[in-house]
């Protein structure tokens, strides 16, 4: 059940991370995937970069105990990228070493907001890739036809959890996650 207090965090996250979210969306690589003409090379490069960000992120998630309702095991998605890049060795892909701090519950919640939200944007990219005839789109398909339900479930859990922690820390973590991801995508 959602309450005004539990939905407050979602409103704050949308509003207070908007500039960071928009900066990430304006990233030239993201622009070419969502609004431009994606190429196989650009798509593979983007997937390699996302893999490099998701692996350390997921390692942080694994260090914590999660209640079953969060379905954290199902939310790991780096392995999907390897399905899209079958000829790429994961050991050959660079990993992001400048990750935001993910040690506290609010930090984890803020980062998850960003990464889970990317499943929605990924579906837009998947449609663009289909139009361009690019088959490398397993990762971008998110949870398939369950993407909306997984997002709704995440939002409900986030709203409930946010009532028990410092919401400012959740928002700060989400902003930092957007910033670190944008910097990583712009890193050569």
Q: Profile the chain (188 residues) by mean pLDDT over runs of 10 residues.
A: 69 96 79 76 93 97 96 96 95 95 96 97 89 89 95 96 96 97 89
CATH number, domain with residue 159: 1.20.910.10
Helix, coil or strand: residue 36: coil
pLDDT of residue 167: 96
Residues spanned by the domain of 147: 4-186
Contact indicator for 111, 177 with CB cutoff of 8 Å: yes
- Supply the DSSP symbol for 100: P
Q: Which of 140, 186, 163, 158 is nearest to 10 (CA)?
A: 158
Contact indicator for 109, 172 with CB cutoff of 8 Å: no
Distance CA 38, CA 18 (A): 25
pLDDT of residue 28: 65
Domain count within the chain: 1
User: pTM value?
Assistant: 0.93
């Amino acid at each position: 059940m959602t309450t005004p207090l539990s939905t407050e965090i979602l409103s704050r996250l949308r509003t207070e991370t908007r500039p960071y979210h928009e900066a990430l969306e304006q990233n030239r690589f993201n622009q070419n995937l969502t609004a431009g003409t994606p190429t196989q090379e650009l798509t593979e490069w983007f997937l390699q970069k996302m893999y490099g960000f998701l692996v350390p992120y997921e390692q942080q998630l694994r260090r914590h105990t999660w209640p079953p309702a969060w379905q954290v095991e199902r939310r790991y998605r780096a392995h999907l990228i390897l399905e899209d890049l079958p000829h790429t060795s994961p050991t050959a892909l660079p990993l992001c070493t400048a990750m935001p701090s993910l040690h506290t519950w609010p930090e984890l919640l803020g980062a998850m907001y960003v990464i889970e939200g990317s499943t929605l944007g990924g579906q837009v990219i998947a449609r663009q890739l289909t139009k361009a005839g690019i088959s490398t789109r397993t990762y971008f398909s998110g949870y398939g036809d369950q993407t909306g339900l997984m997002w709704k479930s995440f939002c409900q859990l986030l709203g409930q959890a946010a009532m028990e922690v410092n919401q400012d820390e959740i928002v700060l973590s989400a902003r930092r996650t957007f910033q670190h991801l944008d910097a990583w995508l712009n890193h050569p």
